[in-house]
Amino acid sequence: MDDYTVPLRDIRFVLDHVCRLEEITTFPGFEHVDVDTVDGLLVEAARFMEEVFAPTNRIGDLVGSRFVDGEVVTPDEFKKAWRAYVEAGWNAVSGPPEYGGGGFPHVVGFAISEMMTASNLAFSLCPMLTGSAITVLDDQPDETLKATYLEKLVTAEWTGTMVLTEPEAGSDVGALRTKAEPSDDGTWAITGTKIFITWGEHDLAENIVHLVLARTPGAPPGTKGISLFVVPKYVVGDDGSFEENGVRCVSIEHKLGIHGSPTCVLEFEEAKGWMVGEEHRGMRYMFKMMNQARVEVGLEGLAVAERAYQKALRYARERLQGRAVGAPPHERSPIIEHPDVRRMLMTMKAYDEAMRGLLYDVAGSVDRSRHHPDDVVREAAAARVALLTPVAKAWCTDVGVEMTSIGLQVHGGMGYVEETGVAQYYRDSRITPIYEGTNGIQAVDLVLRKLPMHGGRVVREYLAEIEGLDAPLAEAGPRFAAMRRELAEALRVLSEATTWLLGRDDPRDVLAGATPYLRMFGTVAGGAYLVRLALAAAKDGEDPWLRAKVATADFYARELLPSAVGLLGAVKAGAAPLYALDPEQLAPAR
The single-letter DSSP state of residue 229 is E
SS3 277: coil
Nearer to other proteins, 43 or 471 (CB): 43
> What are the φ/ψ torsions at residue 48 (nearest 5 degrees)?
-65, -45
Closest distance between other proteins and the C-beta of residue 61, in Å?
25
Nearer to other proteins, 41 or 386 (CB): 41
Closest distance between other proteins and the C-beta of residue 266, in Å?
32
Please list, in sequence order, all residues whose beta carbon lies within 8 angstroms of the beta carbon of residue 340, skipping any fewer than 6 positions away: none
Closest distance between other proteins and the C-beta of residue 99, in Å?
14
Closest distance between other proteins and the C-beta of residue 83, in Å?
12
SS3 432: coil
Please list, in sequence order, all residues whose beta carbon lies within 8 angstroms of the beta carbon of residue 349, skipping any fewer than 6 positions away: 309, 552
Nearer to other proteins, 51 or 506 (CB): 51
Q: Which residues are 251's β-sheet partners?
A: 265
Nearer to other proteins, 52 or 275 (CB): 52
Nearer to other proteins, 56 or 369 (CB): 56
Is position 436 annotated as part of the catalytic site? Answer: yes
With vertex at residue 118, the alpha carbon angle to CA 11 and CA 350, rounded to the nearest 5 degrees, is 55
Distance of CA 246 to the CA centre of its chain: 32
Closest distance between other proteins and the C-beta of residue 39, in Å?
8
CB 153 within 8 A of CB 160: yes
Best CA proximity match to 106, nearest among 143, 135, 64: 135
**Which among 379, 436, 461, 584 is annotated as catalytic?**
436
3-state SS, 187-206, equals: CEEEEEEEEEEECCCCCCCC
End-to-end CA distance of the chain: 51
Nearer to other proteins, 102 or 522 (CB): 102
> What are the φ/ψ torsions at residue 520 (nearest 5 degrees)?
-65, -45
Residues that bind other proteins (CB under 8 A): 5, 36-37, 39-41, 43-44, 47-48, 51-52, 84, 87-90, 92-93, 102
Best CA proximity match to 7, nearest among 305, 345, 293: 305
Closest distance between other proteins and the C-beta of residue 36, in Å?
7
Q: Which residues are catalytic?
A: 436
